[in-house]
Structure 1
């Protein structure tokens, strides 16, 4: 062996050894950062699950209690959004279909009923896809389409039918003080206007009772109890209570003083019936006659079910937004209704039933033999349920699978970017993780969670998940602790 070769071999050995040292040192820094989080006195009673993996090799970068399955709040949304991409595809759309039953006379009179058949579309009239104030513009389009079919008088009713997806309402494990609020609206066979109502209050001096000004859309026969007062608060501190399909609503809490028109959002009691009523309002405003008004298939017991293959005539449809578009808002702005809707799409496509229960079974069936479901508990699609239990390993397995999927690019594009956008635009701002972390966040009382992808400074692609339950410090403190871990992943 000549001297020059020996020198080159020695240099190569030194370089390789140095690279191994850097890799091990980086790994130790990640592990050290999670150890520091765990040892923080404010986390001594906390439950923590963490894992990070190198997606190129599948090897673990660092971990702590990675198999501990605990509630992860809105990070749960990764499961239904990922499943919708895999099962349905990025460009899948559903639709709301319009039919008529009865004969259309030469006098442009329909001697029968109009049927609105829901397909579970959660994007219809949504503020995330419509210009503000024009969310219900589709009803004028529908009216134009009806006229083009030679109908301007209905000797019957407008009947809304969301029965294909059932009437189970919200998942059974949701808290009572969630389901009356806008973020607690159920995903149904018929959805529109984000299944919300806008409640407007006028407030006076400190401690004074507020005045209820308006509820939009107007809900017929709604009983609304107002216990909202003016308080020393800067924003909305009101909880709206109300059960699925109930026409009793109760608002309690406080709003800032001396507000002329303060908006609070609640869940819509019965979107199926309400859509029929809103269309009847538009039809009548445009000189249509609708003899029997609006009806909902669930609420009106006289509305007989029809065979859509033989009993009625198809008129037109309204297509939904795509899975990719809906999943974007589900993850980017953490829209609960959209996550639940995507879950229901999966269930309906696989089991011909869009209930939460059937849809969760369909989700698990898809992932069986793809990722390890042992210990994983899902009770909803959005993460409101405190009975959900997901480990860091479950998340990393999901993220790893998506990384090798043809849907990876579309799925990743739905995730907010740390320090830049969405629900994590302030996370790692001005730090190493800014622009390098693509992740879903999750927050409910004493739960903080993040899961997603990291493109490290060395060019490595990582997947990670971290969930902390029952921390005793402030939200800002636990975020600071987690940022230190994420920054080390970015430096890896």
Structure 2
């Protein structure tokens, strides 16, 4: 009895000493100029036991930025499994006679976010469609190209900042998506202080004019931004790009991917000698042309987290709930035994600055995922010493290769949540949310890295 009591006392002293060292390190870290006035939430738990290793305001709801993608990716896998696919079906109507199609080409969109995505170069939807039309011997289409969902209103989360919605990372999710719903403006710059010129726009954006006010700068950085909403007839481009560039890419959000796709398809068909009359013809009997099947859901989740693709995250959110994403997420978490009372969600990607989540919620989700999801989820998280986004967070020998985590960043926010393997071989689930810091964001990342070093070294 005395022996076991002595052993318990020794363990208690050891734990208390370790916590005391962490508390001392914490005070030193959180006292640094960049974060001493910031709102900070931290929750670190042992994955195997669920015991708290360290916490600091774990229940404070803070902006998580892209860390919120952990919800959409984990819950989409939970509800749909690894192998879900989207299908996009293409038909032609009417009859083909001596190279003339008296009918329409009809595309039935299935919500696939990966059509001709740069992340999935093998899904060549445009090439496949053009090839199928050519192989049918069609030289003239006495009809039109119809995308069934064309004209659906764009749904923008009300809290997305105006300066984000027209830039590539603000690409909206639609029933029909194309080329990551992104287009590229190629600018030519001269001497610093002179105005740039638009060289080309790829693909073209029908019905939209671009007003270019971008200037050349001596700074070697892209500081050009696009302004305007989905229904804007003129988009404004302002800011600066590096001087003396023959072509410099600025990427924008393709607000109407169906119109962009149709315009490019018409151009491609014309290049193959196929005439499109654009006549209104009633939709008669349909003949299957081909069906494109998307990559597996596990592959979409992989790029959602690895490359922090907002478009993919919003697509995953649609799988979870097309009508009330926030309520459904909270209900799912509650069903998993995770306290969801402090959560405010406005989107599935983390672009909204109105999102707020306690650190403990993410940590508990990570523990749940480790025990209930396949390795696909963990493999989707960026890895230290491998993925660019973790280069600062993992810049220490005991962190490199031992950290898997989703990053999050926006103005005044640096966030990180994932798994950390300690020197003792234990796996920790952790979340660190820093809001309203001042100064250099790299310094904030270094502070987070130094805190992780303390946990890894225990």
TM tier, shorter chain? over 0.9
Q: CA deviation at 1:24?
A: 4.0
Q: Are 1:243 and 2:209 counterparts?
A: no
The equivalent residue for 2:52 is 60
Q: Distance in 2 between matches of 1:225 and 1:359?
A: 36
Q: CA deviation at 1:151?
A: 4.8
Q: Distance in 2 between matches of 1:243 and 1:67?
A: 36
2:188 aligned residue (169, 190, 202) = 202
Q: CA deviation at 1:60?
A: 0.8
Secondary structure of the equivalent of 1:468? strand
2:449 aligned residue (471, 483, 491) = 483
Q: Structure 1 residues 163, 274: closer, same or farther in 2, change over 3 A?
A: closer
Unaligned 5+ segments in structure 1 are: 1-5, 294-301, 348-353
The equivalent residue for 1:25 is 17
Secondary structure of the equivalent of 1:178? coil
Q: Are 1:127 and 2:118 counterparts?
A: yes
Secondary structure of the equivalent of 2:76? helix
* Aligned counterparts, 1:32-181, within 5 A: 32-101=24-93, 103-130=94-121, 137-148=124-135, 151-162=138-149, 166-181=152-167
Q: CA deviation at 1:22?
A: 4.3
Q: CA deviation at 1:104?
A: 1.6
8 Å CA contact 2:392, 2:445 repeated in 1: no
The equivalent residue for 2:429 is 463
Q: Structure 1 residues 480, 267: closer, same or farther in 2, change over 3 A?
A: same
The equivalent residue for 2:341 is 374
Q: CA deviation at 1:18?
A: 5.6
1:330 aligned residue (264, 283, 304) = 304
Secondary structure of the equivalent of 1:399? helix
The equivalent residue for 1:351 is none
8 Å CA contact 2:404, 2:420 repeated in 1: yes
8 Å CA contact 1:26, 1:488 repeated in 2: no
The equivalent residue for 1:385 is 352
Unaligned 5+ segments in structure 2 are: none
Q: Distance in 2 between matches of 1:160 and 1:362?
A: 30
Secondary structure of the equivalent of 2:289? strand
Q: Distance in 2 between matches of 1:149 and 1:88?
A: 37
1:341 aligned residue (304, 315, 323) = 315
Q: CA deviation at 1:392?
A: 0.5
Higher mean alpha-carbon deviation, 311-320 vs 60-69, is at 311-320
Q: CA deviation at 1:148?
A: 4.8
Q: CA RMSD in A?
A: 2.6
Q: Deviations over 1:210-235 (max 9, x none)?
A: 11111111223321101011112112
* Aligned counterparts, 1:239-278, within 5 A: 239-278=225-264
**How many matched pairs?**
457
Q: Structure 1 residues 358, 145: closer, same or farther in 2, change over 3 A?
A: farther
| TM-score between the two structures when normalised by the length of structure 2 | 0.92
The equivalent residue for 1:298 is none
| TM-score between the two structures when normalised by the length of structure 1 | 0.86
